Amino acid sequence: MPATVTASVETAERPEKRERRKEARPGELLAAALDLFVEKGFAATRAEEVAQRAGVSKGTLFLYFPSKEELFKAVVREHIAGTIKDAFGELQTFPGTSSELVHFMMHQWWERYGNTKASGISKLMMSEAGNFPELAEFYQQEVIIPGHQLIQKVIERGMASGEFRKVDVEYAVFSVLAPIMFLIMWKHSMSGCCPSGEKIEPLRYLSVQADIVAHGLRNITS
Amino acid sequence: MPATVTASVETAERPEKRERRKEARPGELLAAALDLFVEKGFAATRAEEVAQRAGVSKGTLFLYFPSKEELFKAVVREHIAGTIKDAFGELQTFPGTSSELVHFMMHQWWERYGNTKASGISKLMMSEAGNFPELAEFYQQEVIIPGHQLIQKVIERGMASGEFRKVDVEYAVFSVLAPIMFLIMWKHSMSGCCPSGEKIEPLRYLSVQADIVAHGLRNITS
Amino acid sequence: MPATVTASVETAERPEKRERRKEARPGELLAAALDLFVEKGFAATRAEEVAQRAGVSKGTLFLYFPSKEELFKAVVREHIAGTIKDAFGELQTFPGTSSELVHFMMHQWWERYGNTKASGISKLMMSEAGNFPELAEFYQQEVIIPGHQLIQKVIERGMASGEFRKVDVEYAVFSVLAPIMFLIMWKHSMSGCCPSGEKIEPLRYLSVQADIVAHGLRNITS
Amino acid sequence: MPATVTASVETAERPEKRERRKEARPGELLAAALDLFVEKGFAATRAEEVAQRAGVSKGTLFLYFPSKEELFKAVVREHIAGTIKDAFGELQTFPGTSSELVHFMMHQWWERYGNTKASGISKLMMSEAGNFPELAEFYQQEVIIPGHQLIQKVIERGMASGEFRKVDVEYAVFSVLAPIMFLIMWKHSMSGCCPSGEKIEPLRYLSVQADIVAHGLRNITS
DNA sequence: AATGAATGAGTATTCATTCAT
DNA sequence: AATGAATGAATACTCATTCAT
C-alpha cells in the first residue's frame, strides 16, 4: 500500500485538512465532475458538489478550472475527445472487409464509450445543447465532427473497394451514428427507470443494427 | 364522464354554468408551457414566462397547477396521448412493396410528427425522463410500445412476403426507429445553435436512411 | 396620524409580513440606498443591506431596480439631477450683479446640495469613478456637464455686461466649481474623523471663496 | 537607530549579516502597492497582484504585512512623510511679486507633486479617509497642516506688502489649495475613464486658476 | 377566480488569509 | 525566509412559490 498514488479516482480517502497534492487534483475533480454531470446534467450540477465529491473546497475547484463551463470542456477533452482519436488509429489498420469493419466499429464504440459513464456526456449534450450554445459548439468541434469523419472514412473505404454501394456518404454516416446514439440516449434516459419498459440488450441490439446497416450499404452483386 | 382530450386538470372541477372562459385557461397555459418546455427544456423555462405567454398572471398559473413539475406532467400527458394510434392507421392498407412502405412510413412520421412542435415532447422526454420516472413509464406505454408494434408489423409484412430477410424482428424495429428519433433529437438540440455545426436536411436525411434500411432488410435475391 | 403616507423615509415602521405598497417602495429603497452609498461607497454597499434598511427583502429590491448600478443611477437622478435643473431656473431670473450671483450661486449650492446627504454621492463618484466607468460616464452626463453649463452661463452673463473680465470661460468654470467640490470632499472625508484636524466652517469658507473668485473675475475698472 | 526612510516594517528586524536582498522586500512590496492602490483604490486592489508586481508570492506579502489594511497604512506612511517640507523651502526666497509667487507656487506644486504618482496618495486619502481615521489624522498632521502654513505665508507676504487685499487669511488659503486638490482628484478619478467626459489640460487649468485667484487677492488699486 | 407584490433559498465566482512544506 | 495550494466567507442576482387583496 504505497503512499504515492497516481490519483486514485475514488472520492479521496479522508483528506485530513489541507492536503497539498497539486498533481492529483485535476484528475479527481474531473472524475467527480463526470459523475455528477452524467447523473444530473450540466445546469443542475452545482460546482460545490463537484468539489465536495472530489474532497476539496469550492475555492479549490476554481483554482483549477476558471468556470463551470471550462470544467465541462475539460471533462469532454479528458473522457471523450481522446476516445475518438484512439479509434482513428485502430480503424486504419483493420484487416477484414468493410462490412466487418462496420460491425467492429459499432461494437468497439459501444464497449469503449457507449457502455461507459462518459457516454452520459453525449446524452447530456443532446439534452442541454440548446441552453448552452457555447458548449454545444465546443462539442461539435471536439466530438461530433471528428466522429463523423471517422465513420465517413469507413464508408469511403467500402465504396472504394467496391464492397459498398455508391451512397450519399455525408448522410450515410448517420446510418451508423444514429443507432449508436439512440442506444446511448436510451440507456441514459429510458433505461433504469421504467419497470415495465422495454429493456434493450446492447449486444443483441448492436448485432442487429450492424447487420442491417452493413447489408444496407453493401453492393448487391457482392 | 367522457375522457376529454383537453385534460381536465384536477384543481378545476367547478361545475359553474357557462363560464367558458375559465375552462379555457388550463388549455392556454398548457399550450404556452408546451412551447416553452420544448424550446428551452424544463429547468430553463420560467413559470412567469409561461403565464405571460398564456396571457395570465404568474399567480394564476399556480392556481391551476400546484407546481412547475405538475405543469410539466400535465403538458406531457396532454400532448402525448393518441399521438401514434390515429396517425398511422392507414399503414395497414398500404398497397406498394414493403421497401416502399418503409420509405413511406419514415417520411410520414417526419411530416406528421417529427416536423411538428409535438416532436419536441419526445426530445424533452428523452432529456428529462431520468428526473420524471413516472412520466417515462407513461411515455413508454403510450408512445414507445405502440410505435414499436407498428414498425414491427411493417417488417413482418416484408418478411412474410419474402421481400425482407429473416431478421430479429424485435430489434430490427430500431433500425427504423433510431434514425427518426435521432433526427428529432438533432433538430431540437444541435440545430439552431452551432454556427459551424452540421445542419441536417431532413428530406435528404430520410431518403438516405430509408434507402439504407430498406436495402438492409431486403433479401439479396430480390 | 393618518395611515397613508407619502413614504416616510425612516426605516419603515415594523413591516408585519407581506406589506403590499407598491407606490411607496421605490422611494424607500432610494432613500436607503442614498444613505448607504454615502456612508460606505458604491462597492462596499451590499444590496441586501439596502433592502433591509428599506424594510423589504433582497428580492424586492431587484423587483424595482434591475441591478445595483441601476439603483445607483436612480439615486443620482432622484437626488442630484433634479437639483441642478431647479438651480437653472432660479439663476435665470436673478436680479443683482454677477458678483452677487456668484455669491448667491455658491451659497445656494451649498445649502441645497453640499450640506445635504446627497452631496456624498459626489464624493463617492470622485472616489470610485475609476472602478465603475459606466457610472462615471452616467454621472458626467447627468451631473457634471449640466453643472458646468450652469456656471458657464453665470460667468458669460458677467462678461456680457462688462462686469467680469474676458477670461477663458471654459476653464474659469472651475474657479467656482473647485471650491465647492473641495468643501464637499472635505466634509465627507476629513471632517468627522480627525479630532485635531482643521474644521472648516462652511459659511465662512464660502464667503471667502466667493469673495476671492468674484474679485478675481471682476473687471478692474468696475 | 536612525529613522530610515524606507520604513523598516515591524516584522522584519532580523539582524542577519548581509542579506541585503531581504531588506529590499518590503520596499518592493510597498512600491507595488502604491502603484496599485493609486490606480484602483483600496478595495479593488488584490493582494495577489501586489505580490506579483513585487515579484514575490502571495504568502510572502502576508509575511511582511499582517493584512491588506496594514499594507495600506504602511504605503501611506512611507510615501507621505516629508512630501511638503523639502519641496517648497525655496518659496521663502522667491524674488518676484506675490501674484507671481502664487502662479509659481501652483505650477510648482503641480509639477513636483500633482503630476506625480505620489499625488495618487492624496486622492486615495480623500477617498478612503473615512475608513481609516487614524491615517486621516496622520495625513492632516503631516501634509495638510504644513501645506496650509506654507500657503498662508505666501498670502501674508502679499498682504504685508500691500499687493494683496486684507482677506481672511486662514480661509483664503483654500482659494489656492482647492484648485490644486480639485485637479488632483479629477486626474485620478474622472480622467481616463469617460469617453465623453471633459478632459482638463493641467497647464491651461492652472494658468486660469492662478490668474483668477491672484486677481481675486490683489488690491484693486494695484 | 385572479392578481402581482413580496419573499428567500439557491448558485457561480472572488479573494484575503492560512499553513504545510 | 519563502512558497503556493487550499480555504470559505462574502455577494449580486434569479425564480418558484406564497398570500393579501
D119 plus D37 within the same structural domain: no
Position with higher pLDDT, B19 vs D79: D79
- Among A26, A42, A66, where does a domain finish? A66
What integer is the mean pLDDT of C40-50? 96
Mean pLDDT calculated for residue range A202-215? 97
* Inter-chain touch C167–D211, beta carbons under 8 Å: yes
The pLDDT of residue C199 is 85
Alpha carbons D21 and D14: distance in angstroms, whole number: 12
Judge if D92 and D138 occupy the same domain: yes
Closest CB from A185, A215, A220 relative to B185? A185
Instruction: Give the sign of the dihedral formed by CA D66, CA D67, CA D71, CA D73.
Output: negative
Smallest CA–C1' separation from C45, nucleotide: F11
CA of A62: nucleotide with nearest C1': E13
Same domain, B62 and B84: no
Q: How confident is the model at residue C17 (pLDDT cuts 50, 70, 90)?
A: low
Q: CB within 8 A of D71, min separation 6: which ones? A: D29, D30, D33, D47, D50, D61, D65
**Based on the domain organization, do D52 and D96 belong to the same domain?**
no
State chain C's mean pLDDT as an integer. 88
**D55 and D87 inside one domain:** no
Whichever domain contains D111, its CATH number is 1.10.357.10
Question: Looking at the partner chain, which of D140, D182, D193 has a beta carbon nearest the beta carbon of C196?
Answer: D140
Instruction: Please state whether strand E lies within 7 Å of residue A22 at its CB atom.
Output: no
Q: What is the pTM of this model?
A: 0.86
C-alpha span between B99 and B210 (Å, rounded) = 8
Let me know: does A189 contact B181? Beta carbons within 8 Å: no
Query: Which pLDDT score, from 0 to 100, does residue C135 have?
Result: 95
Residues B61 and B90 reside in one and the same domain: no
Chains that touch A (3 or more CB pairs under 8 A): B
With cut-offs at 50, 70 and 90, classify the pLDDT of residue A206: very high
CB spacing of A129 vs B193 below 8 angstroms: yes
- Is a pLDDT exceeding 90 seen at residue A39? yes
What's the burial of C77, exposed, middle or buried (CB within 10 Å: 0-12/13-18/19+)?
middle
- Same-domain check for residues D43 and D128: no
From C128, C168, C212, residue closest to D216, measured CB to CB: C212
* Residue contact C167–D208, C-beta within 8 A: yes
In Å, how far from its chain's centre is CA B206?
17
Exposed / middle / buried, residue C124 (Cβ in 10 Å: 0-12, 13-18, 19+): buried
Contact between A210 and B209 under an 8 Å Cβ cutoff? The reply is: no
- Stretch C176-197: mean pLDDT: 86
Tell me how far apart the alpha carbons of residues D183 and D205 are, in angstroms, rounded to a whole number: 8
Q: What is the mean pLDDT of residues D150-158?
A: 95
Q: Are B107 and B99 in contact (CB under 8 A)?
A: no
Predicted confidence at residue A84, as pLDDT, reads 87
The nucleotide minimizing the C1' distance to residue B60's CA is: E2
CA B84, B86, B88, B89 dihedral sign is positive
DSSP letter for each residue of C125-190: HHHHGGG-HHHHHHHIIIIIHHHHHHHHHHHHHHHHTTSB----HHHHHHHHHHHHHHHHHHHHHT
Using a 10 angstrom Cβ sphere, with 0-12 exposed, 13-18 middle and 19 or more buried, the burial of residue D6 is exposed
Instruction: Supply the pLDDT for residue A16.
Output: 47
The C-alpha cell that represents B183 in the structure block: 433526427
Residue C42, pLDDT > 70, answer: yes
Dist CA D183 CA C178 (whole Å): 8
Strand E: which residues 174-203 of B lie within 7 A (CB)? none
Chains D and C touch (3+ CB pairs under 8 A): yes
CA distance C213 to D163: 17
Question: Which of D66, D99, D118 is the endpoint of a domain?
Answer: D66
**What confidence category does residue C73 fall into, taking pLDDT thresholds of 50, 70 and 90?**
very high
pLDDT at residue number D43: 92
Look at residue A111 and tell me whether its pLDDT is greater than 70: yes
Angle, CA A115 vertex, CA A138 and CA A8 arms, to 5°:
80
Asked whether the beta carbons of A167 and B111 are under 8 A apart, the reply is no
Distance from CA of C217 to the nearest CA of D (A): 6
Residue A42, pLDDT above cutoff 50: yes
Q: What is the pLDDT of residue A19?
A: 61
Q: Which residue has the higher pLDDT, B190 or C177?
A: C177
Asked if A touches B (at least 3 Cβ pairs < 8 angstroms), the answer reads: yes
B144 band by pLDDT with thresholds 50, 70 and 90: confident
pLDDT at C44 over 60: yes
Of the three residues A44, A66, A88, the one that is the final residue of a domain is A66
Q: Place B19 in a pLDDT band, splitting at 50, 70 and 90.
A: very low
Q: C159: which chain D residues are within 8 Å (Cβ-Cβ)?
A: none
Using only the alpha carbons of chain A, give its radius of gyration: 20
Kindly state the average pLDDT of the residues B160-186. Answer: 97
For chain C, list the contacting chains (3+ Cβ pairs, <8 Å).
D
Residues C36 and C86 in one domain: no
Same domain, D84 and D180: yes
Whether C182 shows a pLDDT value over 50: the answer reads yes
Same-domain pairing of C183 and C146: yes
Give the range of the structural domain holding residue A139, as residue numbers without chain letter: 68-222
Choose the weakest-confidence range: A119-123, A139-143, A215-219, D89-93.
D89-93
- Cell 462652511, residue located: C202
Same domain for B124 and B188, yes or no, is yes
In this structure, are residues C84 and C143 in contact, taking their beta carbons and an 8 Å threshold? yes
Split into its structural domains, chain D has a count of 2
Q: Which nucleotide is nearest to B16 (CA to C1')?
A: E1
D137 CB neighbour count, 10 Å cutoff: 17
Interchain proximity A127–B189, CB inside 8 Å:
yes
Question: Each residue of A90-104: pLDDT tens digit?
Answer: 888 999 999 999 999
**Do D73 and D58 fall within a single domain?**
no
Structure-model confidence comparison of residues C194 and D45, the more confident one: D45
Give the closest residue to F18 (Cα–C1′): B59
- Let me know: does D183 contact D203? Beta carbons within 8 Å: no
Q: List chain E nucleotides near protein: any atom < 7 Å from a Cβ.
A: 1-21
Which range among A38-47, B205-214, D188-197 shows the weakest confidence by mean pLDDT?
D188-197
